[in-house]
Amino acid sequence: MKGIHRLVAGILGVGLILSGCGCRSHGVKIGGPGGLQEIPVGDFSSLTGDTATFGTSTHNGLALAIEQANAAGGVKDLPIKLYTEDDQSMPDVARTVVTKLITEDHVIAVVGEVASTRSLAAAPICQQYKIPMITPASTNPAVTQKGDYIFRTCFTDDFQAAVMAHFARDQGYKRVAVFKDIRNDYSMGIAKIFEAEFTNLGGTITGEQTYQEGDTDFKAQLNSLKGQNPDAVLIPGYYSEVGTIARQAREIGLNVPLLGCDGWDSPKLIQAAGNALNGCYFSDHYFSKDIKDPAMQKFFADYKAKYGYSPDALAALGFDAGNLLVDALKRAKSLTPADLRDAIATTKDFPGITGKITIDANRNARKAAIIMKIVGEKKVLYKVYTPEEIDQ
Amino acid sequence: MRIFIQQLIFGIQLGSLYALIALGYTMVYGVLSLINFAHGDVYMVGAYIGFYACTYWLPFQRISADPHAAVMNIVLAVVVLLLSMLMCGALGVVIERFAYRPLRNGLGITDAHFWGFALSLPVAFHFHLFHKVSDGAGRFLFGIMWFLLIGVIVGYALRPVIRWISLRTVLSPSRLNALITAIGVSLLLENGGWLVFGPNPEFIGTMVPEKNFKILGGVIINSSQLAILVISLILMLILRHIVLHTRTGKAMRAISHDIEAAKMMGINTDKVISVTFAIGGALAGAGGMMVGVLTHVQITPLFGLLPGIKAFVAAVIGGPGNIPGAVLGGIIMGVAEAFVGGSSFSTYRDAIAFTILIIILLVRPAGLLGRNVAEKV
């Protein structure tokens, strides 16, 4: 018996050591606001985990913006220092790392997260410590409703879902089915608004089915959707499942176009889907290689020079969030979180590469959206919708 | 009607996979009365072996118009299947030999070396000696060399410790000890998976040509689904042959009746138990590889968690220790999941699967095909 106990203790010991490997520590400590030698800015992103390409893209874009700002002399003669934490695509970890950024690294602003679920986890902490938080790409409306320190520099799901509803009508689809991820705030939010808007526009929702992040077999649900004979199926999910869903849809002979939103935007989408997504559409942020805008083309070149591959829309959003933050830091009366908050809140017509950014009373940005079409294994710009068109 | 038959086909295909995993649970339960919780993770390793073999190890070609490439890829896919079965079978044996056997028979000198390697793993990771396979073969192999070197040194250092422990061990074969160890092995494989395979989900692209077949009245069967179904069936028939018509199978059945009596009849029980774990591991490996390569789902280190639990439920439904029962249980689970998933209650499909388990256990506590045996206390 004794031996066995020791064995168990040994296993536990191994486990402890294994779990201890993940820690990292920062050597630099910052003094109080009086003795700043640099401007500490926090960044929490999903660099690993289920949606790793999201966080990697926004982080890369943000880091590029900060690097360019520092090369141009920094802000108020101080360089900006970016503290980056990986939340492993998990809301609990996001909560922990944001607390660490604020209490240990003493950052004066936090930029972070693509996934709304993780932004929603971190926002109350930033609000509690009164540190401004800018989410570059979380589209769920609830994120900025967490408090007056939470900002967003992209459009919201309300807008994105309305765009998809208009697009579905413009394409002549009469009957659309919805397949949503029940454990994802983003997916549920879009599905709800799309259904309301599309019905308003005279379309019919034939029915809806649900899946959960991490599921591997979707054929039963897809087969039931197929039985409803829709003209198209809306799948407001993340690329990690959409590829598999698309393949299985084609396997069971569901050959209608699939519609998606910005959660589809990932280089891994095509890898997962093969050619199953040929002829499908998704709404995305105003960013494409096909848009001939000098600022956007310069960003393409700079990004490719630094990282060796082309940016996606999320990288551009990270870049815009970083530049907007730099702009607000320059305009802020002092480098305190409260003054910085006021500066961000008064941002007007900031020339981002993904569109002009004006922060409205609800701390959201209003920007145009594009529709991307998947042709073979390529994504091409198909259509642009401005906020004015949707409002009509 | 079309939808009904279509869902039935999906259910049977899904169920055949659950059955493959459930067979491993039920066989181990039969010989050892042990619930091998690490079994679902062996399935996960099978999928990763499929991924690495398809992406890095074997010369798969992009299938396009070239019919030769397609045929070649099918041959290679069979090789991957066998490779996955072989490696997962070996993993099953290693798990049994070093995690479960010491609990039955006490520690030996070989265990010192195993734990040497096991301890070398976190040490090597802590000093960043390991590299992912994707970092390049050279760096990966260099990491392995360090791991082996540290493992050998620690193993020799552990020898006196293990001897000291084994001299003072009083064996009390308790099911609880084995069960907790099984959970520990499962956690080790999952968390070790994060380190070895990396945390980013992997996908296997289209390796084998796929085709949809239309049968009676618009019901569609995909070639990949058909392949999963047929391969599962073949493996089950082979298993049936082994259990019913070979000496090892006879020994297995003898052990599941009474391990002590089997020992007295001169059966090398340890060897037969090893074979049982090898077969179970190979079946799980085949299942993991087929799901990864043929259905293109994302593979993560927690890939085996839910299928493992469902297969365990399938084994319990059929009657633990009963081989036809595991297959029946697997099919029931799969069909139930497909029908609930296709209805408007799709959100509750896991809940309903477990409700089925509860109802069946209320009516037949020993499972559908299990026999009620009064246990002496």
Averaged pLDDT score across all residues of chain A: 86
- Compare B7 and A50 and report the one with higher pLDDT: B7
3-state secondary structure of A211: strand
Domain end call among B154, B170, B186: B170
* Partner residue opposite B199 with nearest CB, options A88, A209, A247: A88
| Nearest residue of chain B to residue A228 (CA atoms) | B3
For the stretch B152-181, pLDDT in tens is 999 899 899 888 888 887 777 677 888 899
Chain A: nearest CA to B244, how far in angstroms?
A: 34
For the stretch A122-137, pLDDT in tens is 999 999 999 999 999 9
Would you state the pLDDT for residue A6? 52
Would you state the pLDDT for residue A29? 38
Q: What is the mean pLDDT of residues B80-86?
A: 95
A283 and A209 within one domain: yes
Q: pLDDT confidence of B69, banded at 50, 70, 90?
A: confident
Q: pLDDT confidence of A32, banded at 50, 70, 90?
A: very low
In chain A, what residues touch B347 (CB-CB under 8 Å)? 182, 210
For the stretch A87-124, pLDDT in tens is 988 899 999 999 999 999 999 999 989 988 899 999 99
Fill in the DSSP letter of residue B15. Answer: H
Do A324 and A363 meet the contact criterion of CB atoms below 8 Å apart?
no
* % of chain A surpassing 70 pLDDT: 91
Domain end call among B127, B154, B170: B170
Chain B: nearest CA to A49, how far in angstroms?
A: 5
Neighbours of A78 (CB within 10 A): 15
B328 and B210 within one domain: yes
Chain B: nearest CA to A312, how far in angstroms?
A: 18
Model confidence at A296: pLDDT above 70? yes
Fill in the DSSP letter of residue B104. Answer: H
Least confident of A177-191, A291-305, B340-354: B340-354
Q: Say how many CB pairs under 8 Å bridge A and B.
A: 148
Asked whether residue A18 is assigned to any structural domain, the reply reads no
Do A244 and A55 meet the contact criterion of CB atoms below 8 Å apart?
no
A241 and A122 within one domain: no
Asked whether residue A178 is assigned to any structural domain, the reply reads yes
| Nearest residue of chain A to residue B224 (CA atoms) | A251
For the stretch B186-242, pLDDT in tens is 998 988 888 778 767 888 877 888 888 887 777 888 888 899 999 999 999 999 999
Asked whether residue B368 is assigned to any structural domain, the reply reads no
Would you state the pLDDT for residue B342? 78
Asked whether residue A30 is assigned to any structural domain, the reply reads no
Would you state the pLDDT for residue A25? 34
Asked whether residue B375 is assigned to any structural domain, the reply reads no
Do A316 and A289 meet the contact criterion of CB atoms below 8 Å apart?
no
Q: What is the mean pLDDT of residues B70-98?
A: 92
Q: Residue type at A128?
A: Q
A176 and A133 within one domain: no
| Nearest residue of chain B to residue A51 (CA atoms) | B200
Would you state the pLDDT for residue A17? 46
Q: Mutation test of the interface with chain B: which of A216, A222, A244, A271, choosing the one with the most B Cβ atoms within 10 A?
A: A216
Residue B153 belongs to domain spanning: 107-170
B124 and B240 within one domain: no
Asked whether residue A378 is assigned to any structural domain, the reply reads yes
Would you state the pLDDT for residue B65? 60
For position B72, which CATH number holds?
Answer: 1.10.3470
Would you state the pLDDT for residue B17? 92
A215 and A105 within one domain: no
For the stretch A308-361, pLDDT in tens is 888 988 999 999 999 999 999 999 998 899 999 999 999 988 988 988 888 988
A230 and A207 within one domain: yes
Asked whether residue B374 is assigned to any structural domain, the reply reads no
Do B97 and B88 meet the contact criterion of CB atoms below 8 Å apart?
no
Q: pLDDT confidence of A373, banded at 50, 70, 90?
A: very high
| Nearest residue of chain B to residue A2 (CA atoms) | B169
Model confidence at A54: pLDDT above 50? yes
Provide, for chain B, the percentages of residues in helix, strand and coil under a 3-state DSSP scheme, each rounded to the nearest 5: 75, 5, 20
**Cβ–Cβ gap B343/A224 under 8 Å:** yes
Asked whether residue B157 is assigned to any structural domain, the reply reads yes
Asked whether residue A284 is assigned to any structural domain, the reply reads yes
Asked whether residue B373 is assigned to any structural domain, the reply reads no
In chain B, what residues touch A90 (CB-CB under 8 Å)? none
| Nearest residue of chain B to residue A253 (CA atoms) | B220
**Cβ–Cβ gap A216/B298 under 8 Å:** yes
* Partner residue opposite B3 with nearest CB, options A17, A223, A271: A223
Helices (H) and strands (E) in chain B, counts: 14, 2
- Compare B25 and B131 and report the one with higher pLDDT: B25
Residue B62 φ/ψ region, left for φ over 0, alpha for ψ in the -120 to 50 degree band, beta for the rest: beta
Would you state the pLDDT for residue A30? 43
Asked whether residue A29 is assigned to any structural domain, the reply reads no
Evaluated on CA atoms A184, A188, A191, A193, the torsion sign reads negative
B259 and B166 within one domain: no
Would you state the pLDDT for residue B133? 63
3-state secondary structure of A333: coil
Would you state the pLDDT for residue A61? 95
**Cβ–Cβ gap B170/A224 under 8 Å:** no
Cβ partners under 8 Å of residue B184, min gap 6: A8, A11, A15, B99
Least confident of A141-145, A165-169, B41-45: A141-145
* Partner residue opposite B346 with nearest CB, options A15, A221, A248: A221
B237 and B123 within one domain: no
B113 and B96 within one domain: no
A375 and A363 within one domain: no
Total number of domains constituting chain A: 2
Chain B: nearest CA to A243, how far in angstroms?
A: 8
A168 and A149 within one domain: no
User: Which CA distances in Å does B374 have to A112, B78, B325?
Assistant: 60, 45, 20
What pTM was estimated for this model as a whole? 0.77
Q: Mutation test of the interface with chain B: which of A223, A228, A268, choosing the one with the most B Cβ atoms within 10 A?
A: A223
In chain B, what residues touch A54 (CB-CB under 8 Å)? none
Evaluated on CA atoms A263, A267, A269, A275, the torsion sign reads positive
Asked whether residue B371 is assigned to any structural domain, the reply reads no
**Cβ–Cβ gap B298/A244 under 8 Å:** yes
Asked whether residue A104 is assigned to any structural domain, the reply reads yes
**Cβ–Cβ gap A11/B188 under 8 Å:** yes
Evaluated on CA atoms A57, B301, B20, A215, the torsion sign reads negative
Residue A385 belongs to domain spanning: 158-288+370-391
B133 and B51 within one domain: no
Asked whether residue A31 is assigned to any structural domain, the reply reads no
Q: Residue type at A351?
A: P
* % of chain B surpassing 90 pLDDT: 39
**Cβ–Cβ gap B169/A4 under 8 Å:** yes
* Partner residue opposite A272 with nearest CB, options B6, B121, B298: B298
**Cβ–Cβ gap A251/B346 under 8 Å:** no
For the stretch A248-270, pLDDT in tens is 998 888 999 999 998 898 878 88
Cβ partners under 8 Å of residue A257, min gap 6: A171, A231, A232, A233, A279, A280, A281
- The closest of B192, B193, B185, B188 to B38, measured between CA atoms, is B185
A245 and A345 within one domain: no
For position A94, which CATH number holds?
Answer: 3.40.50.2300
* Partner residue opposite A7 with nearest CB, options B102, B297, B300: B102
A268 and A196 within one domain: yes
Would you state the pLDDT for residue B375? 52
B352 and B247 within one domain: yes
Total number of domains constituting chain B: 2
Averaged pLDDT score across all residues of chain B: 86
Model confidence at B47: pLDDT above 50? yes
ipTM: 0.73
B130 and B75 within one domain: no
Domain end call among B127, B143, B170: B170
A377 and A243 within one domain: yes
Would you state the pLDDT for residue A392? 60
Chain A: nearest CA to B165, how far in angstroms?
A: 5
For the stretch A163-182, pLDDT in tens is 999 999 999 999 999 999 98
User: Which CA distances in Å does A69 have to A4, B20, B39, B271?
Assistant: 60, 58, 53, 68
A192 and A132 within one domain: no
* Partner residue opposite A18 with nearest CB, options B102, B115, B122: B122
B201 and B166 within one domain: no
A119 and A136 within one domain: yes
